[in-house]
A and B are shown apart, each in its own frame.
Chain A
Amino acid sequence: MRAFTYERASSPAAAATAAARNPEAKFIAGGTNLLDLMKLEIETPTHLVDVNGLKLDTIEATPDGGLRIGALVRNTALAADESVRRDYGVLSRALLAGASGQLRNRATTAGNLLQRTRCPYFYDTAQPCNKRQPGSGCSALGGFSRQLGVIGVSDACIATHPSDMAVAMRALDAMVETVKADASTRTIPIAELHRSPGSTPHLETTLAPGELITAVTLPKPIGGTQIYRKVRDRASYAFALVSVAAIVQRDGSGRISLGGIAPKPWRVEAAERELPRGAKAAAAAMLDGARPTPENAFKLPLVERTLGAVLSEARA
């Protein structure tokens, strides 16, 4: 771990200003990902802006009947929130499918969205990795890639985004509220938060330097049967090989978002029109353009089969 300076931010705008001032600054909230990465020197910020003291840890109703989730609401609190459990079941289920109780107690809503990939080559600083060290190459291509991405990836990077929560939020059309260094605020649809890797996989989001996530808002509830199905090699405490967040309405229409297969929560709205035709058609439309490696090609049929199971469950 490199030496760093540290400050506690007094307001969201002050935090954004402090972070924008220093290109090597990072926000720290729960620290469940960043601290590990700093210990391994995968992340080497020279300055940390602690946002834990900002009062961004409440969940409240929005005027239009939705929900506003503070950036610092812990995953445990969010999963257990009564209105989340009642109106946004897919979100609660996704949260509880992730990490461990201890980590969820600490991990925050904004931090979860911004967590970094679990590609093993990203985690070994002796290995080339375009995300960690731009231009050094991708070790995972042609290497151990079983866990990695099959769609939305590039020749420079096949890493996946590891979040479960974000997959559910994508299906719920969440909006990400931010504040910038100049104190201006904006709202980013979650679909536009994460970037595709292209030739710059080290740039993971569309946030401007210093821009701080202050909340995630959910539109008013849309009902339906809400399912989160996470497929993994062991029953708990493992990242998804494939996950499916589904909101299925009685008429067979619905929304599907996929995890474990792409650099961001993977949702193809146009493909959802295929849902009434069944999993095969919908999966084919969602996975159009996939480019798996020989080691992770199984994820394509796995998506289709898992989606099929989820749709059956929703109809049951």
Chain B
Amino acid sequence: MKFDIPATQNPIDRQSIVGQPRDRVDGPLKVTGGARYAYEQHDVVPNQAYGYVLGATIAKGRIASMDLKAARASAGVLAVVTAKEAGKLGKGKRNTAKLLGGPEIAHYHQAVALVVAETFEQARAAASLIRVEYAQTKGAFDLEAAKGRAIKPTGEDSSPADTQVGDFAGAFATAPVALDQTYTTPDHSHAMMEPPATLAAWDGDKLTLWTSNQMIDWGVGDLAQTLRIPKANIRLVSPFIGGGFGGKLFLRADAVLAGLGARAAKRPVKIALQRPLMFNNTTHRPATIQRIRIGADRDGRITAIGHESWSGDLPDGGPELAVQQTRLLYAGANRMTAMRLAVLDLPEGNAMRAPGEAPGLMALEIAMDEMAEKLGMDPIAFRALNDTQVDPEKPKRPFSMRRLNECFKIGAERFGWDRRLARPGQSRDGRWLVGIGVAAAFRNNLVMKSAARVRLDAHGTVTVETDMTDIGTGSYTIIAQTAAEMLGVGLDKVVVRLGDSRFPVSAGSGGQWGANSSTAGVYAACVKLRETVAQKLGINSAEAVFANGEVRAGNRSMPLASAAESGPVVGEDTIEYGDLDETHQQSTFGAHFVEVGVDVATAETRIRRMLAVCSAGRILNPKTARSQVIGAMTMGVGAALMEELAVDTRRGFFVNHDLAGYEVPVHADIPHQEVIFLEETDPMSSPMKAKGVGELGICGVGAAVANAIYNATGVRVRNYPITLDKLLEHMPSA
């Protein structure tokens, strides 16, 4: 199905099941242990052996020598795999560094060996017996120091690196009110609960991997390229994923090494990447240095807006797209954005929840707060005045839908924004300095081709198959809701099977495109199935109404199942997109409100209340969508207050490489969270008229927290995370 004109009325608009707050269909499996994650696939193949990964202990250089003798002789060891043993390997299109290092070492904890043994403990014990001598070379590990050497990135993903409209320099220089500030965000780790994990089994030259991967087809392609075998010989199965946040978008070492280990040991091999390796072995969100300049008239109208961002990555890597939102979020005739990329020999940077916007808004939305204060304006009024209904770089291109101002308005009423004292440091509750802050949420809506197959059997059961993944988001549920709505059956009649490369290729889970695109693919397949059903039943498909397990046309009514009496009926199709996302800018919007308390003595910040108001098209399931948004808000609090991969700039690695050192919020950090979704449908996005919320929820949270801290204390911190040591010396005496 080609989606190239705006959606009109369709069966989804009934919203009898879609749009309803249904429980997760996979909930019972999750809470009873019935959901099998990669490392728990104990019964899919017999004779499973265990792998343990050895990471490099230098940041850059070469392996001078490696002594595997003791490891090989160790009890229970079946195989030891290194780059030497593995022979010639390719590299996945989406990988920057090799997943099995040696002799060159590209980053700390890059895998250099895999030990396979009868038990996990034996593999671990043997791995510690491997002696590696390294020849270290000098690397660059400090973004601030490397900034001067940063270049304009040329990769496809960062195109364009620069944008310019009007005369930014001239307008900024003459603006009566101007702000020029620099903000920094640190490296972040996805730190998901389930580490990258894979069970691999060979059958002749065919390889099956039970793994944890957000993007099945990317994984198959990159693994085929890495192992230099045909894509058709690889099957990836990833039915349940214990968190990914972008850390599992790509093929990682667990999958490659499990494949190589299983080949070497001639046995199925499973690997869960050890927790202490997760922070340096996998990808991370790169640190940024961001300079923002805003010029405005005295009445608050922006006349010049400029955003530059510097980030680093390994050679041939890409930049963090932190200026992305500034191209679209606010009006202003004179504009510039620029991204610069420095070579750093730290582990590989890549996408993490809302890449670009998440760190970009952490800076931009503090800058907007600062600018509002300079203008003596309310921060919401300042943003509203500079709203734009068109792409400000290409004014002929309207937004498909943009209700940012309504998000602010509704949120302000609900949150009690009018009780905010504009002068900071004025509100006190016992030992707490209390402040409230706001920020815009913005994340683009990407549309991705997505296929599905839907089968109706004689019992009236509808089975949906697509390689879409559920990373905890609720994909199983919204896909079941889509099929149920389209075919007029209850959720109990729908079976959803996901995450298997044998199924039609879907959009996968990333960039908050998964919900809209994958359900649109299921919609397309259901349209096909409806046509076939109508044909079988001898009725005109245009007239057919699918409801209550029946198909009605005129005054005729037949059980849906009767169409499958002589055998299952199958509909398979792909949603493909035309140029609606070119002619119209599709984005999601929101407003985050945060109230913090800052301890007047210790400067510890604790969140007191949070509210997100989101405008994101049709909300397919308000319950799972809310869950996405509050999870993202929590992650935003982490970025605001505590998350930071500490770089040892001498030795070139992230030092705090476990969950004791890399702190993320715990329950005690998160108070009541409220989420409001604006009622809307966006006919430009897909037949589902939906967009994504999983990333929108994190976008802007960090700045809302920062602005609330400023409101509470009068201390403006521009370097995240806002830990107490950055506030302390500026705090009033207790």
Asked if A and B are interacting partners, one says yes
Least CB separation from A242: chain B residue: B602
Bound form: Cα–Cα A120–B646 in Å: 10
Chain B residues near A123: list those with CB within 8 A: 276, 658, 661
Encoded as 1 (CB less than 8 Å from any B CB) or 0, chain A from 116 to 142 comes to: 001011011011000000000001001
Encoded as 1 (CB less than 8 Å from any B CB) or 0, chain A from 289 to 311 comes to: 00000000010011001101100
A120 lies within 8 A of B665 (CB): no
Is A40 in the interface zone, CB < 8 Å from B?
yes
Distance of B76 from chain A, by nearest CB (Å)? 12
Q: Which of B655-702 contact A (CB under 8 A)?
A: 655-658, 660-661, 663, 665-669
A120 lies within 8 A of B655 (CB): yes
Which of A56-64, A228-236, A267-275 lies at the interface? A228-236
A233 lies within 8 A of B655 (CB): no
B723 lies within 8 A of A127 (CB): no
B657 lies within 8 A of A1 (CB): no
Distance of A22 from chain B, by nearest CB (Å)? 20
With A121-B655, A309-B602 given, is the CB distance from A234 to B724 under 8 Å?
no
Q: Which of A155-194 contact B (CB under 8 A)?
A: none
Chain B residues near A139: list those with CB within 8 A: 648, 651
Distance of B533 from chain A, by nearest CB (Å)? 53
B668 lies within 8 A of A236 (CB): yes
Is B125 in the interface zone, CB < 8 Å from A?
yes
Distance of B136 from chain A, by nearest CB (Å)? 12
Least CB separation from B109: chain A residue: A126
A143 lies within 8 A of B650 (CB): yes
Is A241 in the interface zone, CB < 8 Å from B?
yes
B725 lies within 8 A of A146 (CB): yes
Bound form: Cα–Cα A118–B651 in Å: 19
Q: Which of A196-223 contact B (CB under 8 A)?
A: none
Chain A residues near B656: list those with CB within 8 A: 120, 144
Distance of B229 from chain A, by nearest CB (Å)? 34
A305 lies within 8 A of B651 (CB): no
With A40-B276, A235-B669 given, is the CB distance from A309 to B651 under 8 Å?
no
Distance of A106 from chain B, by nearest CB (Å)? 16
Bound form: Cα–Cα A241–B728 in Å: 13
Bound form: Cα–Cα A124–B648 in Å: 13
With A126-B57, A146-B725 given, is the CB distance from A231 to B651 under 8 Å?
no
A233 lies within 8 A of B724 (CB): yes
- Our pick among B646, B651, B666, B724 for the contact of A302 (Cβ within 8 Å) is B724
Bound form: Cα–Cα A308–B641 in Å: 24
Chain A residues near B725: list those with CB within 8 A: 146, 298, 302
Bound form: Cα–Cα A204–B147 in Å: 43
Distance of B370 from chain A, by nearest CB (Å)? 24
Is A41 in the interface zone, CB < 8 Å from B?
yes
Is B642 in the interface zone, CB < 8 Å from A?
yes
Is B606 in the interface zone, CB < 8 Å from A?
yes
A1 lies within 8 A of B655 (CB): no
Chain A residues near B44: list those with CB within 8 A: none
Bound form: Cα–Cα A127–B647 in Å: 14
Least CB separation from B600: chain A residue: A309
Chain A residues near B124: list those with CB within 8 A: 1, 39
Chain A residues near B651: list those with CB within 8 A: 127, 139, 143
Least CB separation from A297: chain B residue: B725
Is B121 in the interface zone, CB < 8 Å from A?
yes
Bound form: Cα–Cα A144–B654 in Å: 10
A236 lies within 8 A of B667 (CB): yes
Chain B residues near A234: list those with CB within 8 A: 641-642, 663, 665-666, 668-669
- Our pick among B121, B641, B642, B661 for the contact of A120 (Cβ within 8 Å) is B661
A301 lies within 8 A of B728 (CB): yes
With A3-B125, A301-B728 given, is the CB distance from A142 to B642 under 8 Å?
no
Is A6 in the interface zone, CB < 8 Å from B?
no
Distance of B139 from chain A, by nearest CB (Å)? 16
Chain B residues near A238: list those with CB within 8 A: 663
Is B734 in the interface zone, CB < 8 Å from A?
yes
Is B604 in the interface zone, CB < 8 Å from A?
yes
Least CB separation from A100: chain B residue: B666
Least CB separation from A44: chain B residue: B128
Distance of A175 from chain B, by nearest CB (Å)? 31
Least CB separation from B667: chain A residue: A236
B601 lies within 8 A of A305 (CB): yes
B728 lies within 8 A of A118 (CB): no
Is A250 in the interface zone, CB < 8 Å from B?
no
Is B431 in the interface zone, CB < 8 Å from A?
yes
Chain A residues near B728: list those with CB within 8 A: 298, 301-302, 305
Least CB separation from B727: chain A residue: A298
Bound form: Cα–Cα A274–B520 in Å: 72
Is B729 in the interface zone, CB < 8 Å from A?
yes
Chain B residues near A312: list those with CB within 8 A: 734
Distance of B646 from chain A, by nearest CB (Å)? 4
Distance of B108 from chain A, by nearest CB (Å)? 8
* Max chain B Cβ within 10 angstroms of own Cβ: one of A118, A237, A308: A237
Q: Which of A222-272 contact B (CB under 8 A)?
A: 231-239, 241-242
With A41-B128, A120-B656, A302-B724 given, is the CB distance from A235 to B661 under 8 Å?
no
Chain B residues near A301: list those with CB within 8 A: 728-729
What are 7 A-B contacts with C-beta separation under 8 Å? Answer: A1-B121, A118-B661, A124-B276, A143-B651, A234-B668, A235-B606, A238-B663
Binding site for A on B (CB under 8 A): 57, 121, 124-125, 128, 276, 431, 599-604, 606, 641-642, 646-648, 650-651, 655-658, 660-661, 663, 665-669, 723-725, 728-729, 731, 734
Instruction: List 11 extra interface pairs beyond A120-B655, A305-B602, CB under 8 A.
Output: A1-B121, A3-B125, A41-B128, A142-B650, A232-B604, A239-B660, A298-B725, A302-B724, A302-B725, A305-B603, A309-B602
